[in-house]
């Protein structure tokens, strides 16, 4: 770590033997750096589920519990919501998501699979079937908002089934 800067300083000495030794040291340091084989980075498990109707095998439908919601903002508007939950083995490729805005509260219902939505979905709230993305043991969907919400407000995401605030 200190070898290269010392060699550069010593190269300014008038002695030819010191200069040659410095150049040789720098060449050896460079060769050692190049010859080192890089350590293979562990491959990250990343799975993006296929879009709806892509011929994916059936999965067990379940109702996940959202653990976190991130508001995706652009140009002063909340354009979409990213909803995250703990992934299960054999995660479904799609999830049906419904949202109802109640003032600044965003009531969210999530159901995995492409089956018939539960009663909360059928209560007149629009619902969408979205692809599920799985990364590092966490599943997520991105719910586009149409029309977008003004970003000047702080919205509070709430699990529609339990009434629990999602942080």
Positions of the chain with pLDDT under 70: 1-4, 6-8, 11, 35-58, 114-125
Q: From CA 100, how far away is CA 70, in angstroms rounded?
A: 16
Report d(CA 63, CA 61) in Å as an integer: 7
Distance CA 114, CA 78 (A): 27
What's the pLDDT tens digit per position in 31-40?
A: 777 766 555 5
For 92-132, give the secondary structure using H, E and C: CCEEEEEEEEECCEEEEEEEECCCCCCCCCCCCCCEEEEEC
CA distance 56 to 149: 34
Q: Nearest-CA neighbor of 74 among 149, 164, 166?
A: 149
pTM for this predicted structure:
0.63
Determine the pLDDT at residue 19: 84
d(CA 94, CA 127): 13
């Amino acid at each position: 770590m200190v070898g290269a800067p010392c060699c550069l300083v010593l190269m300014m000495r008038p002695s030819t033997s010191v200069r040659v030794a410095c150049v040789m040291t720098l060449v050896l340091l460079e060769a050692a750096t190049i010859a080192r084989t890089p350590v293979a980075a562990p491959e990250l498990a990343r799975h993006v589920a296929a879009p709806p109707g892509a011929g994916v095998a059936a999965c067990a439908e379940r109702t996940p519990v959202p653990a976190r919601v991130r508001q995706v903002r652009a140009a002063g508007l909340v354009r979409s919501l990213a909803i995250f939950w703990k992934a299960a083995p054999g995660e479904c490729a799609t999830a049906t998501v419904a949202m109802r805005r109640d003032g600044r509260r965003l009531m969210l219902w999530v159901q995995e699979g492409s089956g018939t939505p539960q009663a909360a979905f059928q209560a007149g709230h629009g619902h969408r079937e979205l692809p599920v993305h799985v990364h590092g043991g966490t599943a997520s969907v991105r719910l586009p908002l149409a029309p977008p919400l003004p970003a000047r407000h702080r919205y509070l995401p709430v699990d529609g089934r339990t009434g629990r605030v999602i942080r």
